[in-house]
Structure 1
Amino acid sequence: MELLSVLEDQELRKVFRCATEDACICLLALLVCTYKGVETEKFAALYKDRRYLRHPTLVMLSLVLSGLITLSKMPETARKIPVLLPDITEALQDANADVKMKALVLFRNTMGHMKGEEAGLLALQLAEELLPLFDDESSQVRELSISLFKDLMKTVVRSIKKKMKKRVQRVLLPLFLRMNDQAESVAKASRDTLLACAEFLGWRKLSYLAKTYQTHLIGECLLRHDRSRVGEYVCQSLPYLKDSQATLRDAAIRFIGLAARKLRKRSLEKLWDICNALLPLQKDPEPSVSSLATQTVFLLTPEMPPSRWRLRSLCCWPC
Structure 2
Amino acid sequence: MDKTVIGIIGGSGVYQIEGLEDARWVGVETPWGEPSDKVLTGTLDGVAMVFLPRHGRGHVHSPTTVPYRANIDAMKRMGVTDIVSVSACGSFREEMAPGDFVIVDQFIDRTFAREKSFFGTGCVAHVSVAHPTCPRLGKACFEAAKAQGVTVHDGGTYLAMEGPQFSSAAESKMYREAWGADVIGMTNMPEAKLAREAEICYASVAMITDYDSWHPDHGSVDISDIIATLGANADAARGLVARLPGLLGGAREPCPHGCDRALEYAIMTAPDHRHPEVVARLDAVAGRVLGST
Question: Which protein has greater RCO, CA pairs closer than 8 Å, 6+ apart?
Answer: 2
Structure with the higher strand share, 1 or 2:
2
Structure with the higher helix share, 1 or 2:
1
Using the size of structure 2 for normalisation, the TM-score is 0.26
Using the size of structure 1 for normalisation, the TM-score is 0.24
